[in-house]
Homo-oligomer: A and B are copies of this chain.
């Protein structure tokens, strides 16, 4: 049970966490912290948070758990604002999509309180954003990756694990480097490809016609291109090296298809597409 939970950044991820914990009766008071007062008021109206403030200092004071759910580029400033006011009993976690950059920010911002920070990343989301998009079910049967620090006490790690389990999530532990590499491939690259796809087609001469005839496949393929652009800018800046390597590798994969088309190599094309279908069917449990 968390008596007082502070959520810094009341968007889709933070709101869904608050709603899930309330549904599980695992939280007493939820204080939301942010700069957009209208959004915070909406959070009260929707029963997501119980009170709000715009001061990180005030929000984290007396909190048992602090969850930082702001874009990656704002993390360091949030950590810095906590310095000197964070009680030694408070456990801090985050929900950032990359972990290396957040840990670096925490190291700078939290100083000797770094041991109280357990880095986390729920593998769940939506192309929608904002407090209204939150749902208590977002983390049901989803994975939450924790990348604990050597400095962490086991009790702090347990507290954050328990919190996510109460939301229906499964906990996985990864090293920071492994997390950032795997997520670059499975999440960051697809987002870049989808953004680029929409931009490319919208720049073509007959883009109105092209979008007009877009069917369900195109909509699903580009769903993630409706994601929050600040968040994805920050991911690119934080995990750039991994992403550039993946973009280059992916371009070579495309070259293989282009070459097979160019040579009218029916056998090669069938093999490539058949392999992808099989892998994808296995992935979603159709095989």
Q: Does A173 contact B (CB under 8 A)?
A: no
Alpha-carbon gap, A238 to B211, bound state (A): 22
- Measured between beta carbons, the chain B residues less than 8 angstroms from A195 are 257, 272-273, 276-277
Q: Does A165 contact B (CB under 8 A)?
A: no
- Measured between beta carbons, the chain B residues less than 8 angstroms from A224 are 217, 220-221
Q: Known contacts A196-B250, A233-B266, A254-B192; is A261 also within 8 Å of B240 by CB?
A: yes
Is B262 in contact with A213, judged by CB distance below 8 angstroms? no
Is B215 in contact with A125, judged by CB distance below 8 angstroms? yes
Q: Known contacts A190-B218, A193-B197, A262-B240; is A182 also within 8 Å of B206 by CB?
A: yes
Q: Does A201 contact B (CB under 8 A)?
A: yes
User: A-side binding surface: helix, strand, loop or mixed?
Assistant: helix
Q: Known contacts A196-B254, A199-B272; is A209 also within 8 Å of B230 by CB?
A: no
Q: Known contacts A232-B273, A277-B226, A279-B198; is A178 also within 8 Å of B248 by CB?
A: no
Chain A residues numbered 261-284 whose CB sits less than 8 Å from any CB in chain B: 261-262, 264, 266, 269-270, 272-277, 279-281, 283-284
Is A186 in contact with B211, judged by CB distance below 8 angstroms? yes
- Measured between beta carbons, the chain B residues less than 8 angstroms from A215 are 123-125, 142-143, 186-187
- Measured between beta carbons, the chain B residues less than 8 angstroms from A230 are 270
Alpha-carbon gap, A219 to B123, bound state (A): 13
Is B266 in contact with A229, judged by CB distance below 8 angstroms? no
Q: Known contacts A186-B210, A187-B217, A213-B186; is A276 also within 8 Å of B240 by CB?
A: no
Q: Does A222 contact B (CB under 8 A)?
A: yes
Q: Does A112 contact B (CB under 8 A)?
A: no
Alpha-carbon gap, A223 to B283, bound state (A): 11
Please give the distance in Å from A254's CB to the nearest CB on chain B: 5
Which of B227, B251, B275 is in CB contact (< 8 Å) with A199? Answer: B275
A-B contact pairs, 17 of them (CB 8 A): A143-B213, A186-B214, A186-B215, A187-B218, A190-B218, A192-B254, A195-B276, A195-B277, A198-B280, A199-B253, A202-B275, A204-B249, A219-B283, A221-B224, A232-B273, A243-B261, A248-B258
